């Protein structure tokens, strides 16, 4: 992997947020789910407690819980200060204030940190990163990718996005990506060219509004139905 922890900004989201970000229905929680670029979210541990099947992958999982916690303490306050400095860029409806945001994020990340050692032992946290994943073809029913693809359009080019989505479609029957904005809060300039190229290859894509909006305008996900190889039909 080769990432440096000092370049990582841990910021995890909860199961409740995942359900709304990806418009997950009750029946879909029972699917075999991959949380790709899951970072320090509590989605895996909360789902596991309820008896569901989730595998999370991220390069950050090569580090210990203690090391990630130390990095979290270094970055937490600067992140909250940044939110306060750009407070008008967010929708303060379900989350009422930067202080409440911090509480929600810290709660999610603390659950993750406590679960990480056991989750690694059980194979629920896998150290890997796009665009190459160590999973079998169609190993999952649903792959989720939160706050990575399209959000970092300024850092990862179009060909990386296409290769990453194709890889997610290799390992899952359906892919959902959220949000479709870049870090500046503008629609990603890569969305339309990526969509056009994937549709030309026979993939079915849909931009769907979801019941979640914290970053203003960030209330849509990309849903991709992946073709099934003939041998698997």
Q: Which residues of 199-225 are buried (b: 16+ CB within 10 A; e: fewer)?
A: eeeebebeeeebebbbbeebbbbbbbe
pLDDT of residue 8: 84
At residue 170, does pLDDT exceed 70? yes
Q: What is the DSSP secondary-structure string of 2-63?
A: ---GGG-------HHHHHHHTT--GGGGGSEEEEET-TT-SHHHHHHHTT-EEEEE-GGGGS
What is the arithmetic mean of pLDDT over 142-161? Answer: 96
Task: Print the domain residue range for 29.
Answer: 5-232
Which pTM value belongs to this model? 0.95
Assign residue 148 the CATH number of its domain: 3.40.50.150
At residue 178, does pLDDT exceed 60? yes
212-227 pLDDT, tens per residue? 999 999 999 999 998 7
Helix H or strand E segment including 137: none
pLDDT of residue 76: 93
Q: What is the overall mean pLDDT for the chain?
A: 94
Contact (CB, 8 A) for 204 and 225: yes
126-148 pLDDT, tens per residue? 999 999 999 999 999 999 999 99
**Residues pairing with 172 in the sheet:** 140
21-42 pLDDT, tens per residue? 999 999 999 999 999 999 999 9
Domain count for the chain: 1
- Share above pLDDT 90 across residues of the chain, in percent, rounded to a whole number: 92
């Amino acid at each position: 992997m080769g990432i440096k922890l000092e370049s990582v900004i841990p910021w995890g989201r909860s199961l409740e947020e995942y359900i709304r970000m990806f418009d997950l229905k009750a029946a879909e929680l029972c699917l075999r789910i991959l949380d790709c670029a899951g970072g320090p979210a509590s989605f895996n541990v909360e789902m596991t407690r309820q008896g569901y099947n989730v595998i999370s992958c991220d390069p950050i999982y090569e580090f210990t819980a203690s090391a990630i916690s130390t990095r979290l303490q270094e970055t937490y306050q600067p992140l909250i200060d940044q939110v306060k400095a750009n407070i008008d860029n967010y929708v303060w409806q379900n989350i009422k204030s930067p202080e409440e945001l911090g509480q929600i994020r810290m709660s999610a990340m603390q659950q993750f940190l406590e679960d990480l050692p056991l989750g690694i032992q059980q194979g629920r946290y896998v150290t890997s990163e796009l665009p190459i994943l160590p999973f079998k073809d169609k190993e999952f029913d649903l792959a989720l990718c939160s706050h990575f693809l399209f959000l970092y359009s300024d850092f990862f080019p179009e060909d990386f996005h296409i290769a990453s989505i194709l890889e997610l479609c290799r390992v899952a029957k359906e892919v959902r990506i959220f949000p479709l904005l870049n870090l500046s809060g503008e629609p990603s300039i890569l969305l339309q060219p990526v969509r056009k190229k994937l549709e030309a290859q026979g993939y079915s894509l849909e931009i769907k509004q979801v019941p979640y909006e914290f970053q203003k305008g960030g209330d849509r996900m990309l849903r991709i139905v992946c073709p099934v190889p003939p041998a698997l039909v």
